[in-house]
């Protein structure tokens, strides 16, 4: 959040400290100093809103054995990754609450699991499937709204988006299915607009305030 540390996840996890160059140095405005590098496979990296720690999903090798799931670690170079929960991960299947006190991941059964970031203890979980719905794909994309009140989730067939109240888990409403599987969800900082990127190259921007006004008038 302060723009001083950059983290990259893919073939391992790497972090750099971005140090401004002096006025007379010329060339690049920043020097990138490697803070840490962890081997393995990492994805869905998120930094806590205040910059105190980060979480990601993936797998690392410990004592010759692969361990996969959700990992939490501090940004200090001496910190080590801590496996919080073992499970299979997918694209955009990890998130952090707006206050930094909660982190969450989605599992293949379409359940969203929430944890306390300090104790690492499981807080609760809820299914994003409604009665009669059955998951037909491996898309687990979700994104928490900037204020932490809502979560947007790819629906059971991966072509639509459901908006849930994060505190209760209740589904508030659904955006219609469109061609192309949901590949990424992104909230505008105002919390009133949601961008949906799809596998066919389409990007749609929804004005959720207008959607909610229409639904409320019915």
Q: Report residue 75's pLDDT band, with 50, 70 and 90 as the boundaries.
A: very high
Q: Say what the pTM is.
A: 0.89
pLDDT of residue 23: 64
pLDDT at 111 over 90: yes
152-162 pLDDT per residue, tens? 999 999 999 99
Neighbours of 120 (CB within 10 A): 14
Which residues are within 8 A (CB) of 42 and not within 5 positions of it... i.e. 6 or more apart? 9, 10, 12, 13, 56, 57, 58, 71
17-48 pLDDT per residue, tens? 999 887 655 678 888 999 999 888 999 999 99
pLDDT of residue 136: 83
pLDDT of residue 11: 84
Of all residues in the chain, what percent carry a pLDDT higher than 70? 97
- β-sheet with 94-96: strand ranges across: 94-96, 102-106, 111-116, 122-127
Mean pLDDT of the chain: 92
Q: Could you tell me if 144 and 150 are in contact, meaning their C-beta atoms sit under 8 angstroms apart? A: yes
Helix, strand, coil fractions of the chain, as percent rounded to 5: 5, 50, 45
Q: Could you tell me if 179 and 202 are in contact, meaning their C-beta atoms sit under 8 angstroms apart? A: yes
DSSP string, 124-151: EEEE-PPTT----S----EEE-TTSSEE
* Pick from 38-47, 53-62, 169-178: least confident: 53-62
> Which tokens is 191 given?
């919390």
**What whole-number distance in Å separates Cα of residue 205 and Cα of residue 207?**
7
């Amino acid at each position: 959040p302060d723009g001083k540390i950059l983290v990259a996840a893919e073939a391992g996890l790497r972090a750099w400290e971005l140090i401004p160059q002096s006025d007379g140095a010329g060339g690049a405005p920043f020097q990138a100093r490697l803070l840490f590098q962890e081997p393995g496979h990492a994805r869905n990296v998120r930094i806590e809103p205040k910059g105190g720690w980060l979480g990601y999903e993936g797998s690392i090798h410990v004592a010759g054995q692969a361990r996969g799931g959700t990992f939490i670690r501090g940004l200090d170079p001496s910190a080590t990754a801590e496996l919080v929960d073992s499970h299979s991960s997918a694209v955009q299947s990890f998130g952090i609450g707006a206050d930094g006190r909660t982190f969450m991941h989605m599992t293949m059964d379409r359940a969203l699991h929430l944890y306390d970031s300090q104790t690492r203890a499981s807080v609760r979980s809820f299914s994003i499937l409604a009665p009669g719905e059955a998951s037909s794909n491996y898309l687990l994309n979700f994104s928490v709204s900037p204020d932490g009140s809502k979560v947007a989730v790819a629906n059971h067939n991966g072509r639509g988006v459901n908006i849930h109240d994060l505190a209760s888990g209740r589904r508030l409403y659904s955006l219609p299915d469109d061609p192309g599987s949901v590949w990424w969800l992104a909230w505008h900082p105002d919390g009133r607009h949601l961008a949906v990127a799809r596998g066919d190259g389409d990007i749609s921007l929804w004005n959720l305030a207008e959607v909610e006004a229409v639904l409320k008038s019915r």
